[in-house]
């Protein structure tokens, strides 16, 4: 269910919705709502990145030069974002409303998580780098890195109704894994220190992927 206010979230929950597409962003959540989310454990997608994305591009477009963005977007796409789209965002009142409301949404997410609610990582975007940034925003909201990892893995599988297949490392689970060279529980930004990605038990060869940023070097070629 697509919701962004406490009122609509309550209506969705009482109507029997399985999941919510967004956190409450239109104002601070009440204590009673936090308790309800902790008790019902209705999974919701965090989607902090989509709102923060407007002011981030308007004020800090240099993030598009980070390696993951360079790989995920063509040079033409990144230039378009830095110029035309950025200019649109700078003029839009929506950009600055979202800049004001995103910190409120971050605190709402933190409160629900602390109460035992089920936060699942989601971005409302379709790029891999956006998910990495989502994890950073969850950490910035005050959620411990280890819990952020759970939000990105197990909780997201719960959101999809597939926790019996993915989201944890166990017998019978899908062999979809990411190996890192740095500890993400020390700093969630270390989740970007990827050694390899495994899909269905096979290590992905990045050099064979048709990425928008062009051919990439293979991360891992060892046995």
- Provide the mean pLDDT of the chain: 96
Residues of the chain with pLDDT > 70, as a percent, come to 100
CATH of domain 6-167: 3.20.20.140
Span 83-99, pLDDT tens digits: 999 999 999 999 999 99
Give the CA-trace dihedral at 135, 137, 142, 147, to 10 degrees: -10
Supply the pLDDT for residue 126: 86
Give the confidence band of 222 by pLDDT, cuts at 50, 70, 90: confident
The structural domains of the chain, with segments of one domain joined by +, span: 6-167
pLDDT for 104-141, tens place per residue? 999 999 999 999 999 999 999 988 899 999 999 999 99
The pLDDT value recorded for residue 20 is: 97
Give the residue-averaged pLDDT of 162-180.
95
Confidence class of residue 223 from pLDDT cuts 50, 70 and 90? Answer: low
- Mean pLDDT value of segment 58-74: 96
Say whether pLDDT at 158 is over 90.
yes
Residue with structure tokens 């709502």? 33
Which pLDDT band, with edges at 50, 70 and 90, does 147 fall under?
A: very high
Per residue in 2-37, pLDDT tens? 999 999 999 999 999 999 999 999 999 999 999 999
């Amino acid at each position: 269910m697509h919701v962004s206010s406490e009122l609509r979230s309550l209506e969705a929950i009482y109507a029997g919705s399985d999941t919510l597409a967004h956190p409450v962003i239109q104002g601070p959540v009440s204590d009673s709502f936090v308790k309800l989310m902790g008790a019902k454990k209705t999974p919701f997608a965090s989607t902090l990145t989509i709102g923060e994305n407007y002011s981030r591009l308007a004020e800090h477009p240099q993030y598009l030069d980070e390696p993951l963005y360079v790989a995920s977007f063509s040079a033409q796409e990144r230039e378009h974002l830095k110029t035309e789209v950025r200019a649109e965002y700078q003029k839009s009142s929506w950009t600055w409303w979202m800049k004001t409301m995103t910190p409120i949404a971050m605190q709402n997410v933190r409160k629900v998580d602390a109460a035992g609610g089920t936060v699942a990582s989601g971005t409302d975007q379709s790029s891999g780098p956006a998910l990495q940034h989502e994890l950073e925003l969850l950490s910035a909201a005050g959620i411990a890195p280890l819990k952020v990892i759970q939000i990105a893995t197990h909780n997201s599988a719960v959101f999809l109704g597939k926790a019996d297949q993915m989201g944890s490392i166990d017998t019978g689970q899908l062999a979809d894994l990411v190996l890192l060279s740095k500890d993400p529980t020390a700093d969630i930004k270390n989740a970007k220190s990827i050694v390899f990605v495994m899909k269905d038990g096979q290590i992905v060869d990045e050099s064979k992927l048709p990425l928008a940023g062009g051919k990439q070097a293979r991360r891992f070629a060892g046995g």
